[in-house]
Amino acid sequence: MNQPVLEISGLSVDYGYHDDAVHALRDVSLSLGRGEVLGLAGESGCGKSTLAYAATRLLPPPGLITGGEVLFHSRTGETLDLLRLPDDELRAARWDEIAIVFQGAMNSLNPVRRVGRQLTDVMAAHRPGVPMSVHKGRARELLGLVGIPADRMPAYPHQLSGGQRQRVMIAMALALDPQVVIMDEPTTALDVVTQRQIVERLIALRAELGFSVVFITHDVSLLIEMADRIAVMYAGRIVEDAPAAEIYAEPRHPYTRGLLGSFPPLRGPRRALSGIPGAPPDLASLPPGCAFAPRCPHAFARCEGERPELSGGRRLSACFLPADGPVAAVQGVAPVE
């Protein structure tokens, strides 16, 4: 892979203390390549948002980072240690270098301020010396980029549709030309038609402006299509990390396999699917072995007592099954050409 722009290693997060602590993130390592679209997939409650918040030090209490490191490598070759950076430098880096679109962000626009103003506010805060007319011009340009006519600048949030508000949030994230954009479920509340329009626009902008994206969603079928690489999370850990096409053609971890089998296909043969039996575990009382073992159709004795590490070369997976073992055999999907 080319030089990463963001490197997360061994990141762990608890909510609460001592015995009651919810271990929401456990020893998570992940790297984002320059210009890459990395998909972060997993069911609700597996820790995706926690990862986004922790990596940018925006974790709300009682969230506590209990270990790990997050490094950001800028275009100029400078490295920032995000978890140890002084607050003011971190705040500056946050919009400038790394921008975040939070889950449900479209509802966090200020309802009594025109959207154009909200865009210029962000720019004025980070580029105080620049004249307002320049910010206004940039705001128009940004709205155009995300597919909103510039004459919507004076609109209030309630005068825009959900899809348009979400586009404004994306425009805001891109305002200071960041190198990394983290998007937490940016299209989950939107209809598929709007989702498609926004995703297409995002991918086109990525090519045009050259930023990297962490795209968080529970919809792995969307990621297969749009992401370069996908990291699959389960119960606070990454269980598989591989190029999107390979995850689809040949999932290694039984959870990934189950997740893919939870989305009925729109094309191809119609066949019975079952999803995954059972329910995701309680993070406050996890089993000692593999957290997925209780739901896993391939679990054997070792899985109950010992936890598999995320390992492998270019393709990572946290499972004791051999890479060409039962998971690959059972599903009978064609290997990648």
Partner 1 sequence: MAETPPPPDDRVVLSARGLTKHFPVRKGLRRKAVRAVESVDLTLRRGSVVALVGESGSGKSTVARLLAMLHPATAGEVRLRGEPVSARFGRRFRAYCRQVQMIFQDPFASLNPVHTVRYILTRSLRIHHAGLSTPELTARLAGLLEQVHLTPPERYLDKFPHELSGGQRQRVSIARALGAGPSVLLADEPVSMLDVSIRLGVLNLLRELTTELDLAVLYITHDIASARYFADTTVVMYAGEIVESGDSEAVTQDPAHPYTRLLIASAPDPDRPGGDREIPARGEPPSLITPPPGCRFHPRCPQAMERCRTQAPPALPGPGGRAVACWLYDTEAPE
Ligand X SMILES: Nc1ncnc2c1ncn2[C@@H]1O[C@H](COP(=O)(O)OP(=O)(O)O)[C@@H](O)[C@H]1O
Q: Which residues bind partner 1 (CB under 8 A)?
A: 43-45, 161, 163-164, 191-197, 199-200, 203, 218-222, 224-226, 244-245, 248, 258-259, 261-268, 270, 272-277, 279-280
Nearest approach, Cβ of 233 to ligand X (angstroms)?
7
Q: Which is nearer to ligand X, 139 or 220 (CB)?
A: 220
For residue 296, give the nearest of 268, 327, 266 by alpha carbon: 327
Please identify which residue in 5, 37, 46, 223 interacts with ligand X, judged by CB under 6 A. 46
- Binder of Mg ion out of 49, 56, 187, 317 (CB under 5 A): 49
Identity of the residue, 22 or 296, whose beta carbon is nearer to ligand X in the bound complex: 22
DSSP 199-266: HHHHHHHHHHH--EEEEEES-HHHHHHH-SEEEEEETTEEEEEEEHHHHHHS--SHHHHHHHTTS--S
Taking the complex as a whole, the smallest distance from the CB of residue 143 to ligand X amounts, in Å, to: 26
Nearest approach, Cβ of residue 235 and ligand X (Å): 8
Chain centroid to Cα 246, Å, comes to 19
CA 237 to chain centre: 14
Residue 177: count other Cβ atoms within 10 Å of its Cβ.
13
**Part of the chain binding Mg ion (CB under 5 A), chosen from 102-110, 144-152, 255-263, 316-324:** 102-110
Q: Give 44 or 108: the residue with its C-beta nearer to ligand X.
A: 44
Q: Between residues 177 and 200, which has the closer beta carbon with respect to partner 1?
A: 200
The distance from CA 97 to its chain's CA centroid, rounded to whole angstroms, is 17
| Residues between 276 and 305 that touch ligand X (CB under 6 A) | 283
Comparing CB distances to partner 1, the nearer of 5 and 160 is 160
Which of 5, 6, 11, 22 lies at the binding interface for ligand X (CB under 6 A)? Answer: 22
For Mg ion, the closer CB: 49 or 56: 49
Residue 294: exposure state from Cβ atoms within 10 A (0-12, 13-18, ≥19)? middle
User: Which segment (3-11, 97-105, 186-194, 326-334) binds Mg ion by CB under 5 A?
Assistant: 97-105
Q: Could you tell me if 303 and 296 are in contact, meaning their C-beta atoms sit under 8 angstroms apart?
A: yes
- C-alpha span between 34 and 225 (Å, rounded): 19
**Contacts of 187 by beta carbon, 8 Å cutoff, 6+ apart:** 166, 194, 195, 198, 199, 217, 222
Query: Which partner from the list ligand X, partner 1, Mg ion, none does 80 bind, CB cut-off 5 to 8 Å by kind?
Result: none
Contact set with ligand X (CB under 6 A): 15, 22, 24, 42, 44-50, 60, 62, 283
